[in-house]
Structure 1
Amino acid sequence: MKDNMQGMVVHARRFLRNLTAALCAMACLFSLAACGSDKGAGKIRIGIKFDQPGMGFKKSGTYVGFDVDVATYIANKLGYSEDDIVWKEAPSKQREAMLQNGDVDMILATYSITDERKKAVSFAGPYIVAGQDLMVRTDDHQINGPEDLNGKRLCSVTGSTSAVTVKQKFASEVQLMEQPGYAECATALFSGIVDAVTTDDIILAGLASASRGRLRLVGKPFTEERYGVGIKKGDKELAKKINAALVDMEANGSWQRALDNNTRGTRYKPNPQFNPPKPQEGE
Structure 2
Amino acid sequence: MMTMKLRKATVASAAALVLALTAAGCGSDGGGSSGASGSASAGGKTITVGIKFDQPGIGLKTPDGKYTGLDVDVATYVAQQLGYAPGDIQWKEAKSADRETLLQRGDVDFIAASYSITPARSEKVDFAGPYLLAHQDVLIRADDNSITTPTDLNSKKLCSVTGSTSAQNVKTKIAPNAQLQEYGGYSECLTGLENKVIDALTTDNTILAGYASQAQFKDKFKLGGFKMSNENYGIGVQKGSELKAKINTALEKMIADGSWAAAVQKNLGPAGYQPDSTPQIGVIVS
Instruction: Specify the alignment match of 1:53 in structure 2.
Output: 56
Amino acid at match of 1:276: T
Q: Does 1:232 align with 2:238?
A: yes
Q: 2:261 — aligned with what?
A: 256
Residue in structure 2 matched with residue 158 of structure 1 by the alignment: 162
Distance in 2 (CA, whole Å) between partners of 1:153 and 1:134 is: 12
Are the equivalent residues in 1 in contact too, given 2:137–2:226 (CA < 8 A)? yes
Residues 1:242 and 2:243 aligned together: no
Hey, what does 1:222 align to over in structure 2?
228
- CA contact 1:134–1:198 (8 Å) conserved in 2: yes
Considering only aligned residues, what root-mean-square deviation do their CA atoms show, in Å?
A: 2.0
User: Tell me, which stretches of 5 or more residues in structure 1 are unaligned?
Assistant: none
Deviations 1:200-221 (A, max 9, x none): 1111111111111111111122
Of the candidates 163, 166, 171, which is equivalent to residue 167 of structure 1? Answer: 171
CA distance in 2, matches of 1:234, 1:129: 24
Separation (CA, whole Å) in 2 of partners of 1:97 and 1:198: 27
Closer, same or farther: CA 192–48 of 1 in aligned 2, 3 Å? same
CA distance in 2, matches of 1:126, 1:24: 42
Deviation at 1:31, TM superposition (A): 4.3
Match of 1:85 among 86, 89, 105: 89
1:280 to 2:282 alignment: yes
Which one-letter code corresponds to 1:47 in the other structure?
A: G
- Superposition pairs of residues 1-283 of structure 1, within 5 angstroms: 1=2, 4-25=5-26, 30-31=30-31, 33=33, 38-39=35-36, 41-59=44-62, 60-210=64-214, 211-235=217-241, 237-271=242-276, 275-280=277-282
In 1, Cα distance between equivalents of 2:12 and 2:229:
75
How many residue pairs were aligned? 274
Provide the TM-score with structure 2 as the length reference: 0.89
Displacement, 1:24?
A: 4.0
TM-score by length of 1: 0.90
Deviation at 1:250, TM superposition (A): 0.7
SS of the residue corresponding to residue 113 of structure 1 reads coil
Q: Is contact 1:124–1:281 with CA below 8 Å preserved after alignment?
A: no
Q: 1:22 to 1:69 in 2, by over 3 A?
A: closer
Distance 1:281 1:180, change over 3 A: farther
Give the Cα–Cα distance (whole angstroms) in 1 for the partners of residues 73 and 8 of structure 2. 63
**1:127–1:277 Cα contact (<8 Å) kept:** yes
Distance 2:15 2:121 in 1: 55
CA-CA distance at 1:6 after TM superposition: 4.3
**Unmatched tracts of structure 2, length 5 or more:** none
**Cα displacement (A) at 1:5:** 3.3
Q: Letter of the 1:226 partner, please give it.
A: N
